[in-house]
């Protein structure tokens, strides 16, 4: 049961003053949660801050920097009726003049905000227009009372359409009033703890900073909250690992007969890295302890084959294996890769996703429970309560960072002493492995199988879009296939990124029925049908979001266009690029960017052009932008983490891991003096896996 002290934080957001059903909808989109709660708002981190303490005169104000100006309102000039020109308000101080520009606002409202002859304070950026200083749509227009309430430093948050910044700020103020005093869960052994504020104070100081030092990820308030989140995660990992070790494993030893048939059916020999990884996995399977191993492999390094050969060991011992993938596309792609090898080896393989229903699903579940299926490949559908295995020995989780610890545990509970192999196609730096997975054994596939092509990678500005479309046309005319990647599904008024639907329409106008589209909002069957058409060569150009990032294998696809490449992380770009160069033909990846590029974006595109080594790119990505991009799931922050940022909070991650390990060593059931505080922490960060283990005793 969640502690009563946390109930105010887990109340619906519409319990805050001023938030009704209409405003709840944009908050739901912002947090990607149907029923947003107070805690979702409190853990919504800012992206930058504005120092409102800068109070220059008009003459001193530096263009394009945030300033707060004290001005005298001299007069108003409205545009002629029917004109698209803006309303102009003329203001001044002792050092100069300024024009305040508003578009599509009524004169009466503006005269009320800026009464002629009054003194007002304007917050915003000055620009120069025809040599005249101008401020367009100030962030704030304040009288003396408003100025007194102006925070010295103001955080800026990510928003969605229909949610103004002021509305979020007011909601945040209400949310902060709900934060209770909670028991301190940080152990005395954490060196930085004395310098950190208490949880409630940390939230208040982060969202209402008094100085810039308190507003940033390296400040004490943010560092303390990052530690809390990482500590809850590490406690969960330590609890899970301790319980798995306590439960013990089962030795699974094969005789090699099925593996030999698979190897004979392969069109290539295993690389040295694959052989080493397989030897380590077989040794783990043969042990009486439970395996928990991470298999990292670059794009096209042959992880699926290693996983299949590991599964063969389970089958040789008369037991079953399961492979869980995060998407239906990826699950079915695994089945396509495995099917011919399984047929040659006499393995029965089935696929279980949300699409299997009714009698088909019932028959499949019966076959799995009776042991008539050797290997089940599926999505989250594998961990539903009605899925029972005859004797599950090995669970393989692909793209583990897209699942929570709870899903991994749920799959492991499908049999006694189940061994676990987790795979990722995105090489992860060691520091991040420890943060996300705890102390886990790891194997790396750094060699690529024979025949994999280097991909010619080029960066082009968006101004050359017509040239790129022409190049795609030439490739299609020669019989090639191509991908065109866009970052959004639909066009948005608040973003200049080209949407998939918009680009699909424009390319279809060029190339007709050769063009198809795939994105995450399509149904599973619609996505699979589009992928099947592309894989069969019925369509030649696939316009897509990053849904095709992992697992999709179409050897005839030799051209990849990535639009707004500057908005993607290095590892994600590398993943996308890995969809081409899978056959014998030379392949090209075109990175379309909109300038001017930041120094980080320039570095990212330059590194991608010069290197095809995913492990090197992962390290560079962590250095340049942070771990969210390393894992290709968010633009900042770690997957599943709302507060922690690995580029800033590496020390907190290490401290959290050390503290969690020490606690679980001395108090494995969390029943000691610190139990109440630690249980509160786990509930606060919704660590269901840990809570369930503790409640189960």
Residues 429 and 464 in one domain: no
- pTM of the predicted model as reported, rounded to 2 decimal places: 0.70
Residues 196 and 316 in one domain: no
Counting Cβ atoms within 10 Å, is residue 377 exposed (0-12), middle (13-18) or buried (19+)?
buried
Query: Is residue 452 pLDDT above 80, yes or no?
Result: no
pLDDT band at 454 (very low <50, low <70, confident <90, very high): confident
Query: Which comes out higher in pLDDT, residue 439 or 2?
Result: 2
Residue 15 located in a structural domain = yes
Tokens of residue 418, six digits: 């189940």
Check which CATH number belongs to the domain holding 82 and give it.
Answer: 2.40.50.140
Of 591, 611, 631, which marks where a domain is finished?
Answer: 611
Average the pLDDT over 549-562 and give the result. Answer: 79
Domain carrying residue 180: 4-49+156-215
Residues 428 and 461 in one domain: no
- CB contact at 8 A, 641 and 632: no
pLDDT band at 597 (very low <50, low <70, confident <90, very high): confident
Residue 235 located in a structural domain = no
Residue 674 located in a structural domain = no
Residue 676 located in a structural domain = no
Query: Is residue 626 pLDDT above 50, yes or no?
Result: no
Of 611, 645, 674, which marks where a domain is finished?
Answer: 611
Query: Which comes out higher in pLDDT, residue 191 or 498?
Result: 191
Average model confidence (pLDDT) across the chain: 88
Average the pLDDT over 338-355 and give the result. Answer: 94
pLDDT of residue 637: 37
Separation between Cα atoms, residue 597 and residue 286, nearest integer Å: 53
Rounded alpha-carbon distances, angstroms, from residue 345 to 234, 262, 281, 312: 41, 6, 20, 9
Average the pLDDT over 47-71 and give the result. Answer: 92
Query: Which comes out higher in pLDDT, residue 461 or 449?
Result: 461
Separation between Cα atoms, residue 424 and residue 269, nearest integer Å: 22
Tokens of residue 376, six digits: 């089940």
Query: Is residue 645 pLDDT above 90, yes or no?
Result: no
Residues 272 and 411 in one domain: yes
Among the listed ranges 140-144, 286-290, 325-329, 637-641, which one has the minimum average pLDDT value?
Answer: 637-641
Domain tally, the chain:
4
Query: Is residue 693 pLDDT above 70, yes or no?
Result: no
Average the pLDDT over 153-164 and give the result. Answer: 90
pLDDT band at 632 (very low <50, low <70, confident <90, very high): very low
Residue 293 located in a structural domain = yes
Residues 395 and 496 in one domain: no
Residues 272 and 139 in one domain: no
Query: Which comes out higher in pLDDT, residue 84 or 382?
Result: 382
Residues 564 and 484 in one domain: yes
Residues 96 and 164 in one domain: no
Among the listed ranges 24-28, 109-113, 298-302, 335-339, which one has the minimum average pLDDT value?
Answer: 298-302
Residues 285 and 426 in one domain: yes
Q: Is the peptide bond before 92 cis (omega within 30 degrees of 0)?
A: no
Of 150, 165, 199, which marks where a domain is finished?
Answer: 150
Residue 670 located in a structural domain = no
């Amino acid at each position: 049961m969640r502690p009563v002290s946390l109930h105010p934080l887990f109340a619906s957001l519409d319990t805050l003053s001023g938030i009704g059903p209409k405003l709840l909808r944009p908050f739901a989109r912002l947090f990607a949660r149907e029923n947003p709660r107070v805690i979702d708002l409190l853990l919504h981190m800012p992206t930058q801050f504005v120092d409102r303490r800068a109070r220059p005169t008009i003459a001193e104000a530096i263009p394009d920097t945030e300033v707060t100006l004290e001005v005298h309102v001299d007069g108003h000039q409205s545009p002629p009726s029917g004109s698209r020109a803006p309303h102009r308000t003329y203001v001044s101080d002792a050092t100069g003049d300024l024009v305040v520009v508003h578009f599509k606002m009524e004169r009466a409202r503006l005269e009320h905000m800026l009464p002629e002859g009054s003194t007002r304070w304007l917050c915003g950026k000055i620009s120069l227009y025809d040599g005249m200083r101008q401020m367009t749509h100030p962030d704030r227009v304040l009288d003396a009372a408003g100025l007194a309430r102006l925070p010295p430093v103001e955080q800026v948050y990510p928003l969605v359409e229909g949610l103004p910044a002021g509305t979020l700020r007011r909601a945040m103020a209400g949310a902060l009033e709900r934060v209770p005093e909670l028991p301190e869960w940080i152990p005395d052994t954490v060196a930085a703890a004395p310098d950190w504020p208490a949880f409630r104070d940390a939230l208040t100081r982060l969202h209402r900073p008094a100085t810039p030092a308190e507003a940033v990820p390296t400040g004490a308030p943010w560092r303390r909250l990052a530690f809390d989140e990482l500590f809850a995660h590490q406690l969960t990992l330590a609890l899970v690992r301790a319980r798995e070790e306590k439960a013990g494993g089962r030795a699974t030893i094969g005789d090699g007969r099925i593996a030999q048939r698979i190897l004979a059916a392969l069109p290539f020999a295993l690389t040295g890295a694959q052989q080493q990884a397989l030897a380590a996995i077989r040794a783990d399977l043969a042990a009486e302890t439970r395996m928990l191993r991470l298999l990292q492999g670059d794009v096209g390094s042959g992880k699926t084959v290693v996983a299949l050969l590991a599964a063969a060991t389970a089958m040789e011992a008369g037991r079953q294996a399961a492979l869980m993938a995060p998407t239906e596309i990826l699950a079915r792609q695994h089945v396509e890769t495995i099917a011919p090898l399984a047929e040659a080896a006499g393995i029965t393989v089935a696929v279980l996703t949300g699409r299997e229903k009714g009698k088909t699903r019932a028959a499949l579940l019966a076959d799995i429970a009776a042991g008539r299926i050797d290997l089940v490949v599926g999505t989250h559908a594998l961990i539903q309560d009605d899925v029972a295995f005859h004797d599950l020995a090995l669970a393989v989780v692909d793209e583990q960072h897209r699942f929570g610890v709870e899903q991994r545990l749920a799959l492991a509970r499908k049999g006694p002493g189940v061994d676990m192999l987790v795979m990722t196609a995105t090489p992860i730096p060691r520091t991040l492995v420890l943060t996300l997975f705890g102390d886990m054994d790891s194997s790396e596939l750094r060699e690529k199988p024979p025949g994999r092509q280097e991909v010619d990678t080029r960066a082009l500005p968006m101004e050359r879009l017509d040239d790129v479309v022409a190049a795609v046309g030439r490739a299609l005319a020669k019989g090639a296939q191509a991908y065109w990647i866009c970052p959004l599904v639909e066009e948005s008024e608040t973003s200049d990124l080209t949407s998939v639907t918009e680009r699909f329409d424009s390319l279809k106008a060029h190339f007709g029925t050769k063009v198809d589209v795939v994105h995450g909002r399509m149904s599973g069957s619609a996505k699979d049908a589009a992928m099947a058409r592309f894989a069969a060569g019925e369509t030649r150009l696939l316009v897509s979001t990053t849904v095709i990032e992992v697992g999709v294998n179409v050897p005839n696809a030799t051209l990849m266009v990535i639009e707004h490449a500057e908005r993607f992380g290095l590892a994600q770009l590398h993943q996308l690029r890995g969809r081409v160069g899978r056959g014998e033909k030379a392949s090209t990846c075109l990175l379309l960017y909109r300038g001017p590029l930041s120094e980080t974006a320039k570095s990212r595109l330059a590194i991608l052009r010069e290197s095809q080594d995913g492990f090197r790119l992962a390290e560079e990505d962590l250095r340049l932008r942070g771990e969210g991009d390393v894992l290709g799931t968010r633009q900042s922050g770690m997957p599943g983490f709302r507060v922690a940022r690995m580029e800033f909070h590496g020390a907190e991650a290490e401290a959290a891991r050390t503290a969690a390990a020490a606690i679980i060593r001395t108090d494995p059931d969390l029943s000691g003096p610190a139990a109440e505080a630690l249980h509160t922490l786990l509930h606060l960060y919704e660590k269901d896996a840990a809570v369930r283990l503790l409640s189960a005793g």
